[in-house]
């Protein structure tokens, strides 16, 4: 078994299930983790699943992924729209990066239409609720070991 796929979730996603359920759904973050683990197992991969409300912690985990992960899935939540530092950390990775959102930020307020993270992402999955994470696992599994496409 190779290195795990790291799955990072940013601020307020610990409140999934109770936070604006009309936008983010009724499943909890634990439910999302279970979905990711189940999908990864089918595909022959393992998952390291973590959430933080703190920008610096997320950056530390992105840096850790440089050596310890086969791919990185990140739902940066609000920091996606604000954090140049998170983008800079992501740019140091040589592994596939999948940006993931439960909602479709492009169909919401104007300030959500741009994410810094997208500038470093191999691809983006958004708008499918908890299934976005599963689809991101599927995408990551397909990219692991594949040559990196240049933009």
Q: How far is the CB of 19 from ligand DQA (least distance, A)?
A: 8
Minimal distance in Å, beta carbon 145 to ligand DQA?
Answer: 27
The sign of the dihedral angle between the CA atoms of 103, 11, 78, 119 is negative
Q: Which of 45, 79, 101, 133 is catalytic?
A: 101
> Does the annotation count 79 as an active-site position?
no
For ligand DQA, the closer of residues 78 and 123 by Cβ is 78
**What kind and span of H or E run contains 57?**
helix 55-68
Give strand ranges (E) for the chain: 5-9, 47-51, 71-75, 97-101, 123-126
- Residue 8: strand pairing partners: 50, 74
When the beta carbons of 70 and 115 are compared against ligand DQA, the nearer one is: 115
The residues that touch ligand DQA, with contacts defined as CB under 6 A, are 12, 75, 77-78, 101-103, 105, 112
> Is position 101 annotated as part of the catalytic site?
yes
**Contact assessment for residue 97 and residue 120, using Cβ atoms and an 8 Å cutoff:** yes
Residue 119 Cβ vs ligand DQA, minimum distance, rounded to whole Å:
16
- Nearer residue to ligand DQA within complex by CB, 3 or 81: 81
Distance, CA of 99 to CA of 122 (rounded, Å): 8
Catalytic residue among 6, 24, 45, 133: 24
The set of catalytic residues is 24, 101
């Amino acid at each position: 078994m190779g290195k795990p796929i790291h799955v990072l979730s940013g601020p307020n996603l610990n409140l999934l299930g109770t936070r604006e359920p009309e936008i983010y759904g009724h499943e909890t973050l634990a439910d999302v983790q279970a979905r990711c683990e189940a999908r990864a197992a089918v595909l022959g991969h393992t998952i390291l699943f973590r959430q933080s409300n703190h920008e610096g912690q997320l950056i530390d985990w992105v840096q850790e992924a440089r050596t310890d992960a086969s791919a990185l899935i990140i739902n940066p939540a609000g920091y996606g729209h604000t954090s140049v530092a998170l983008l800079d950390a992501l740019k140091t990775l040589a592994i596939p990066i999948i940006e993931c959102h439960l909602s479709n930020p492009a169909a919401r307020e104007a300030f959500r239409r741009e994410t810094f993270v997208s500038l470093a992402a191999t691809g983006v999955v958004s708008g499918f609720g908890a299934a976005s994470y599963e689809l991101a696992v599927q995408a990551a599994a397909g990219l692991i070991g594949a040559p990196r496409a240049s933009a």
